Every structure is written in structure tokens, then in C-alpha cells.
Amino acid sequence: MDVLVVLIPVSLLLGGLGLAAFFWTLRSSQYSDPEGDSRRILTGEHDDRPAR
């Protein structure tokens, strides 16, 4: 039972960090154009420039 005193707050903290990271990705517009991304993958329209 003593281990639950540590595990419950740690799990709540990690869950909160995950939720905060999700909201950060929403605010930084990382999900702005999912339709366009999926169409580019299927049609092969991509640039052939090497990644930096």
C-alpha cells in the first residue's frame, strides 16, 4: 500500500504532462491540414529535396 502513495501522484503527473503536450501541439498548429497531408502521400506530390 505504501507504493500507491508514490505511484498515484506520479501517474497523475505523467498524465498531466501528456495532456499539456497535446494542448501545446494544438496551439502550435501541428494538425492544421491533415486532409492535404493524406492526399500528398497518396498522389505522390512531394518534393525530392533532401532533408537538412
pLDDT of residue 12 exceeding 70, the answer is yes
Query: Which band of pLDDT confidence, cut at 50, 70 and 90, is reported for residue 36?
Result: confident
Mean pLDDT of 25-48: 76
Residue with the bigger pLDDT between 12 and 39: it is 12
Give the position of cell 500507491.
4
Please tell me the predicted confidence (pLDDT) of residue 41.
74
Q: How far apart are CA 23 and CA 36, in angstroms?
A: 22
Cell of 20: 499539456
Q: How far apart are CA 19 and CA 45, in angstroms?
A: 34
pLDDT of residue 8 exceeding 90, the answer is yes
Q: What single DSSP character describes residue 32?
A: S
